[in-house]
A and B are shown apart, each in its own frame.
Chain A
Amino acid sequence: MSQRIETDVLIIGAGPVGLFAVFELGLLDLKCHLVDILDRPGGQCTELYPEKPIYDIPAYPVIGAQELIDRLMDQIRPFDPQFTCEQMVAELTGGVDTGFTVRTNDGLEFATKVIVIAAGGGSFLPKRPPIPGIQAYEGTSVFYSVREMEVFRDQDVVIVGGGDSALDWTLSLQPIARSLTLAHRRDAFRAAPHTVERMRALVADGKMDFKLGQLAALEGTEGVLEAVTLRTADGEERVPCTRLLPFFGLTMKLGPIAEWGLNLDENLIEVDTEKFQTSVPGIFAIGDINTYPGKLKLILSGFHEAALMSQAAKRIVSPDEHISFQYTTSSPSLHKKLGVA
């Protein structure tokens, strides 16, 4: 992938705070492009708890997390934000004087004047099972997602998990694998019932194995997997295999942003409380990802941070322009931007 996208502001993370930043920046005529590792906007609200009620959004005694995201998407529509999903930002070059270039893991390139990190708890990445030595096999025998099915052709594959990823890939890889074993800790699945039925039919036909057990150990040499050990009700069982796909859900990690030279406090990005700017001029951090004295990880706080950050971002993008503070209730020019004039 080689493509260069130009924007005023690159927002990393399309959760509630990243989305609301589009609104505040939009009122100041700044164009935003959002990039997120997930397949759609919404961040944790959509990925972790779409059905959960939130009780501390001003003027809403209660609002569902997904409903909050839907309403934010409505609210920012007049500003026509652009989204790039399923991409993780990787490399940063440039600076506030010359502009920044941000590259993603797939080589997509953004040219931007300002960067706003609104990455919440960090990037959602597949969870690595805490098996000693598993890293040595990653990328050669152990994979957390399927990018190329050919990697599994004519291999002895073990898939661990009971969700949709585990079951979907069981069905897709079974025809091309030499052998396939699905292992799960219990005989109940979170995955869609029809995929579970198809899996059980394949087991009944002798085309694959299902084992009740948990992953306990790996065996092999120099990154080449030879077997896994499953912990079952009857003790340990060795299953010879050459490929392992563990599906243990997602976890949040700061990821490559940690290498961008920003001052960090543990896994959080230090900012000032006037502009919510990081230690690197032109790079801001808002929402759960930042830290400052008195910080509270509330969506509410992220919204406030977005508003103040936007004023500072505007001064970077348009240094010669006078910013006059206006209210959305009464300003005809803001009404025009919002499409309500």
Chain B
Amino acid sequence: MPKVTFIDPSGTRHEIDGDAGATLMEVAVKNLVPGIEAECGGALACATCHVYVDEAWREAVGGPSEMEEDMLDFAYDVRSNSRLSCQVKMTPELDGLVVNVPEQQG
């Protein structure tokens, strides 16, 4: 099972065994990672599951789609490594993934 680490704004690391095929948001919500609100439940209709992908993983994770970019307009403090975690699927290739949870969801 691919492992993923969420680092919350206080620096606390949440290391979780994710289910392959689940989204990063689903993994976070299921494991009660603080700071991932996912208000719309993964419908790509809000921007409250915003994360920053660790530099080392940016290429493997890839960039947002056009619709995701549109939704990122509603997030706070968007950076070049911003993604909505509901749009990132856990795959064996992403085993070890590290993402940072922003201080605020928009």
Give the docked Cα–Cα distance between A252 and B106 (Å): 13
Give a binary string over A230-254; 1 marks a CB under 8 Å from any B CB, 0 the rest. Answer: 0100000000000000001101100
Answer whether A190 and B78 are a contact pair too, CB < 8 Å, given A127-B106, A251-B46: no
Q: When the two chains form their complex, are residues B104 and A214 in contact, meaning their CB atoms are under 8 A apart?
A: no
Answer whether A130 and B104 are a contact pair too, CB < 8 Å, given A214-B78, A231-B77, A248-B74: yes
| B70–chain A nearest beta-carbon distance, Å | 5
Q: Which residue of A lies closest to B40 (CB)?
A: A48
Partner of A129, one of B40, B69, B78, B106: B106
A214 CB contacts on chain B under 8 angstroms: 76-78
Give the docked Cα–Cα distance between A177 and B65 (Å): 36
Q: When the two chains form their complex, are residues B78 and A185 in contact, meaning their CB atoms are under 8 A apart?
A: yes
Question: Does B32 touch A at the CB level, under 8 Å?
Answer: no
| B87–chain A nearest beta-carbon distance, Å | 14
Q: When the two chains form their complex, are residues A248 and B40 in contact, meaning their CB atoms are under 8 A apart?
A: no
Question: Does B45 touch A at the CB level, under 8 Å?
Answer: yes
Q: When the two chains form their complex, are residues B78 and A48 in contact, meaning their CB atoms are under 8 A apart?
A: no
A188 CB contacts on chain B under 8 angstroms: 69
Partner of B106, one of A130, A184, A190: A130
Q: Which residue of A lies closest to B37 (CB)?
A: A251
Interface residues on A, range: 20 to 34
| A18–chain B nearest beta-carbon distance, Å | 19
Q: When the two chains form their complex, are residues B76 and A163 in contact, meaning their CB atoms are under 8 A apart?
A: no
A162 CB contacts on chain B under 8 angstroms: 73
Residues of A within 8 A of B (CB): 48-49, 52, 121, 127, 129-130, 161-163, 184-186, 188, 190, 214, 231, 248-249, 251-252
Give a binary string over B6-39; 1 marks a CB under 8 Å from any A CB, 0 the rest. Answer: 0000000000000000000000000000000001
Q: When the two chains form their complex, are residues B39 and A252 in contact, meaning their CB atoms are under 8 A apart?
A: yes
Give the docked Cα–Cα distance between A163 and B39 (Å): 20
B74 CB contacts on chain A under 8 angstroms: 127, 248-249
| A232–chain B nearest beta-carbon distance, Å | 12
Q: When the two chains form their complex, are residues A190 and B46 in contact, meaning their CB atoms are under 8 A apart?
A: no
Within B40-92, the residues touching A (CB, 8 Å) are 40, 43, 45-47, 69-70, 72-74, 76-78
Give the docked Cα–Cα distance between A205 and B40 (Å): 41
Give the docked Cα–Cα distance between A121 and B78 (Å): 26
